[in-house]
Structure 1
Amino acid sequence: MPNRELVSRSVAVERVVEARSTALADIATAHVELDAIAGRVLAEDVHAPRDVPPHDYATMDGYAAAAADEPPLDVVDEIAPEDEPPDIGPGTAVRIATGAPLPPRTDAVLKRENATVAEGRLADWELAAGTNVHRRGTTATADERLFAAGDRLAPRHAALCRDVGIDTVPVRERFAVGIVATGTEIHEGRQPDRDSEFLANLVRSWGHVPAEPRTVPDDPAAVRETIESAAADHDVVLTSGGTSVGTADHVSSTLADHDPLFEGVRLRPGRPVMAAVVDGTPVVALPGKPIAAHTAAVLVARPLFTGKTDLSTVTTTPEHHVAMPDADREYAVPVVMEDGRATALGHVDSSLPLYEDRFAPGLVAASTRATLADGFVLTETALEPDEPVDVVPYPAVE
């Protein structure tokens, strides 16, 4: 990619996240029910309205008393979960059910099966304070901030919201995302559009709304008009193809005339990914080859949609030696996981034999069969059979 500045993936992600903040500022706010919070981004901080639990609760059936009391203790009452706890004095205990609130001065629960009770008196009592007790406010304290504005909610967070008494949460409306595939051969139907559908699925899984994909031929004026029109109609735009330096690659010149964020990334596959802000709308332009487009999407574009920059990994050992082509590049090597080892999908001994022992990102980038990988290894150095590596599973980024 002559005459283009390539930035590191971390720099590209940082600039994309900055563009996200700008995009979010223009998005309206809505309140959604808890059954619809997954993937939504909070517009405001969310605080607990009260202490939860509101009392100390028993976590076992048994007997509650003050840990400092000396036995024997008089058993003076019985408490069920629906009861209001009574006040009891020193030297006394209550029989208590799991989930029932403790009387004010009690702070420990003896399991029923460990208790000896005769003639209404608890004979044995030697417990530390807090034994078998769920303390007041351990889930949340009143006015405690549970989530910050900009946090992306997951399905599990509905349980916490419901527990503390929150029925709805304020969220940003989802990004409306334009998707544009460039290429005369695609526009005319001579080749399939292999990128737009997986991009639409990624957008949905990241919590946003993809528009019907559009195609555009390799005409400079048509490419410019299509991208600028998509930017005017959507909150974010993803394009595929037209980002290299060939005579038919016109996306790059369009973005260069607006507010470029970066012209390329030191990442293979995926190097010719670029981004710009077009009339206030973030546009991420992905390479046309499917695996290159997917790699750039999940490693560079994803933070624009999710706000997440971390990558979850699992550690394993490579099955084969795989050399990397050049220095000063980060390579995303697709791998298949089996029996605790990782086989590079594309290696001659894999189910997709594309190269001998030197990673060939260009060949891998063009093969949709590489989508059968379980994840990828991010590396700048060779993979060695005796050296553990971290694999990014595809579910962690999709």
Structure 2
Amino acid sequence: MTDHDDLLALDDAIDRTLACRDAALEGRTTTTVPLDDLSGRVLAESVSAETDQPSSDRATMDGYAFAAADEGPLEIVDQRVFPESTPPAIEAGQAVEIATGAPLPERADTVCKREDATIDDGRLERPTLEAGTYVYERGSNVTAGERLYDTGERLSALDAILLRDLGRETVETYEPFSVGVLATGTEIHEERHTDLDSPMLCSLVRSWGHDPTYEGSVPDEGDRVEERIGDLADRHDVVVTTGGTSVGKKDYVIDAVGTLGEVAFHRVRVRPGKPIALARLPDHDALAVAIPGKPIGAYVIAALVARPLFTGDRTTATLERTITRDVGLGPEGFEYAIPVTLEGEDATPLGHVDSPLEVYEETFDPSVLSSSTRAATADGFVLTTAALDAGTRVDVIPTAVLE
């Protein structure tokens, strides 16, 4: 049995994280928010359409509405239809002038653009158009009764468009998580080392739509670590710790959260960042996320594993780019998060000797790179289980989509 045989696969870790999130949302306090304040909020209700949208066929161009089955030329009735109008009835062989967004008369199913129309003596030459041309058909957007959002979905500013079209002015959302961020480590507590992780994690949690508070530090003393985590768990929904998650003599965090509750998982097959842990603390009605202490590893693993807890999103958008250097990998069985910088269609591994940060020559070195603050200038990460060959196309997760 190797040192990493008992590690959890990334997908399995995300599954357990999402299960903990679902449990945490059950019975959680909700609040009503207006649509101009919904970005980043999590829905506490499902949303279905009450009526068809649009409620009638509508023109998507200024022009003339008619029935495609009618023979031409078509008599143009003496009325124009605007978005606020009640459309007139038209008979066979007739057309009506119509504006963009206006409802079509009952018989009409086609619109001829104004610039394509040929008018002669008040009659429209029959254009060769198929039924449905330049028509926004009734119910083509949403149909009555259709469920559009589920409880637990995280909203963005874009969702305000559809919700307002459905007639909503507010939505019911869960209160954001209160998050206490605690740094562990005697060297940090005694201010001999700078705490690089806590400000970054607070910013991440805030970008994910929740309310972080930096709660200071605690030295590497088992009873004090346990006491501080328990105290914060009484005051916050989620406690995020940094450092002390490995198996060294002064790594007390995993023992502490195990004593206070139940560890859902510890150590994931991702490098850097593998010693992350998630624990349930039922006596405190809280969760604990234990993040390893090296700053780049902390960012990577928080973005990949902790982010789903706060957002509900398990996947991330990627960009396809060409890797510019060969990158070898270490032991098999891991997903490696390789930081890259982007320029045009190229992705250059940051840390390679040919990059501004010279950490490795051929084989990716997550241990050293995880501690390198210069790696914070990466534009994204390539998540891979196989070595990379220069010139091949790779999927890059931009840092912007992780926040």
Q: TM exceeds 0.5?
A: yes
**2:233–2:239 Cα contact (<8 Å) kept:** yes
Tell me what 1:236 maps to.
238
Tell me what 2:169 maps to.
167
SS across alignment from 1:214:
strand
Amino acid at match of 1:105: R
Amino acid at match of 2:43: L
User: Using the alignment, how far apart are the partners of 1:67 and 1:108 within structure 2?
Assistant: 6
User: Using the alignment, how far apart are the partners of 2:192 and 2:378 within structure 1?
Assistant: 28
User: Using the alignment, how far apart are the partners of 1:215 and 1:162 within structure 2?
Assistant: 45
Amino acid at match of 2:18: V
Tell me what 1:43 maps to.
44
**1:331–1:380 Cα contact (<8 Å) kept:** yes
User: Using the alignment, how far apart are the partners of 1:342 and 1:90 within structure 2?
Assistant: 62
Amino acid at match of 1:20: R
Tell me what 1:120 maps to.
122
The Cα shift of 1:24 comes to 0.8
| Cα deviation digits, residues 97-154 of structure 1 (max 9, x gap) | 2221111111111122222223322232432211111112222223321211111111
User: Using the alignment, how far apart are the partners of 1:16 and 1:113 within structure 2?
Assistant: 57
CA separation of 1:104 and 1:267: change in aligned 2, threshold 3 A: same
2:356 paired with 1:351: yes
User: Using the alignment, how far apart are the partners of 1:92 and 1:395 within structure 2?
Assistant: 54
The Cα shift of 1:276 comes to 1.0
User: Using the alignment, how far apart are the partners of 2:345 and 2:127 within structure 1?
Assistant: 50
User: Using the alignment, how far apart are the partners of 1:216 and 1:80 within structure 2?
Assistant: 68
Q: TM-score, normalised by structure 2?
A: 0.95
Tell me what 2:210 maps to.
208
SS across alignment from 2:359:
coil
The Cα shift of 1:2 comes to 5.8
Tell me what 2:313 maps to.
308
Tell me what 1:218 maps to.
220
386-395 vs 186-195, greater mean Cα deviation: 386-395
CA separation of 1:88 and 1:357: change in aligned 2, threshold 3 A: same
Tell me what 2:254 maps to.
252
Tell me what 1:289 maps to.
294
2:380 paired with 1:375: yes
User: Using the alignment, how far apart are the partners of 2:112 and 2:333 within structure 1?
Assistant: 63
Instruction: Please give the root-mean-square deviation of Cα atoms over the aligned residues, in Å.
Output: 1.6
User: Using the alignment, how far apart are the partners of 2:105 and 2:147 within structure 1?
Assistant: 29
Tell me what 1:63 maps to.
64
| Cα deviation digits, residues 293-312 of structure 1 (max 9, x gap) | 11110011111011111122
**1:180–1:196 Cα contact (<8 Å) kept:** yes
The Cα shift of 1:34 comes to 0.5
**1:4–1:263 Cα contact (<8 Å) kept:** no
User: Using the alignment, how far apart are the partners of 1:59 and 1:356 within structure 2?
Assistant: 58
2:139 paired with 1:137: yes
Amino acid at match of 1:362: S
User: Using the alignment, how far apart are the partners of 1:200 and 1:53 within structure 2?
Assistant: 43
| Cα deviation digits, residues 12-71 of structure 1 (max 9, x gap) | 111111100111114211111001111111111112232222221111222111111111
| Cα deviation digits, residues 254-307 of structure 1 (max 9, x gap) | 122221111211211101111111224221101011011111100111110111
Tell me what 1:95 maps to.
97
The Cα shift of 1:234 comes to 1.2
User: Using the alignment, how far apart are the partners of 1:127 and 1:13 within structure 2?
Assistant: 51
**2:275–2:291 Cα contact (<8 Å) kept:** yes
Gaps of 5+ in 2: none
Tell me what 1:269 maps to.
272
SS across alignment from 1:362:
helix
232-241 vs 273-282, greater mean Cα deviation: 273-282
User: Using the alignment, how far apart are the partners of 2:62 and 2:393 within structure 1?
Assistant: 48
Identity of aligned residues (%): 49
| Cα deviation digits, residues 214-272 of structure 1 (max 9, x gap) | 21111111100111111221111211001111121110111222211112112111011
Amino acid at match of 2:339: P
Tell me what 1:147 maps to.
149
